Each structure stands twice: as C-alpha cells, then as structure tokens.
Amino acid sequence: MAGLDEGTPLFGQVAERLAAEIADGGLAEGERVPSTNELAAYYRINPATAAKGISLLADDGLLEKRRGIGMFVAAGARRRLLAQRREQFAERYVRPLLTEATRLGIDGGELIALIKECGREQFTDTPGGVTV
C-alpha cells in the first residue's frame, strides 16, 4: 500500500490522489489516466478498489471514458478541482490554525504578524507568491 493512509476508504484515497495530480497539473486535461491494473500494482491494492476510485471521479465528471482506450481527464477538470480546494481552504487550513492558536494563547494581532513573517521568508524569491 505504497504511500496511502490507513483508515479512510482506500478507493476514496485513490480518487483523492488522482484529483490532486489533476489539480497540480501532473495529469493534464485530455491525458490518459493510469488504468485500474496500473493503479492496483502501484499502490498494491485490489483492482476492484482502484476501479471504485476511478469511477468516483468519473461519476463526478472529472474523468471521461473513451471506449476501448481507457479513462481520460475531462475538459475543465482542473479548474473545478482548484475551485473546490479554494472552498475547502478555510475549513482545512485556517480553522485548525485558529484552534491551535487559541490553545496556545496567540491572539489575532500576533497571529497576523506571524503569517506576515513566514510569508516574507517563504515567498521572497517566489514570483506570484503570497504577499502579505
């Protein structure tokens, strides 16, 4: 089970991995997605599990089947996935940050100063990076 987490359904993790790859541009729109058997061999999982992961994305319209050839990344998939991630950003990153900050007694002003400081360190050389 190369690099997959314990616990959450495996087919969901396969779908997440593929979605992340599409969102990051590793799998371009119109490109062929690895087959069920290729995914099964790579992640060392049951092929039926891999197939379920693929069909999760296909049902969502992110992948499309071309008869006799395989599954391909659908047009507009990347844009939709990035929009989804944007929506989840607050829930997945900001809220846990605030919870931990509260636990440690870091107040709002201090937190914003910290974010600015980290932003300067991380993004000084990154064109198009976050400026705060």
Shorter beta-carbon distance to other proteins: residue 5 or 117: 5
Binds other proteins by CB under 8 A, chosen from 3, 6, 86, 124: 6
Question: Cβ 9 to other proteins, closest distance in Å?
Answer: 5
Nearest Cα residue to 88 out of 31, 39, 6, 23: 23
Secondary structure in 3-state letters for 69-121: CEEEECCCHHHHHHHHHHHHHHHHHHHHHHHHHHHHCCCHHHHHHHHHHHHHH
- 32 alpha-carbon distance from chain centroid: 18
Written as one string, the DSSP assignment of 16-61 is HHHHHHHHTTSS-TTPBPPPHHHHHHHHT--HHHHHHHHHHHHHTT
Residues contacting other proteins: total by CB under 8 A:
23
Interacting residues with other proteins between 17 and 76 (CB under 8 A): 37, 40-41, 43-49, 52
* Cα distances (Å, whole numbers) of residue 54 to 1, 82, 95, 117: 17, 19, 30, 41
Shorter beta-carbon distance to other proteins: residue 58 or 119: 58
Binds other proteins by CB under 8 A, chosen from 4, 58, 101, 111: 4
Binds other proteins by CB under 8 A, chosen from 32, 95, 116, 120: 95
Binds other proteins by CB under 8 A, chosen from 26, 61, 96, 129: 96
Shorter beta-carbon distance to other proteins: residue 47 or 119: 47
Which residues of the shown chain bind other proteins in the complex (CB under 8 A)?
Answer: 1, 4, 6-11, 37, 40-41, 43-49, 52, 95-96, 99, 103
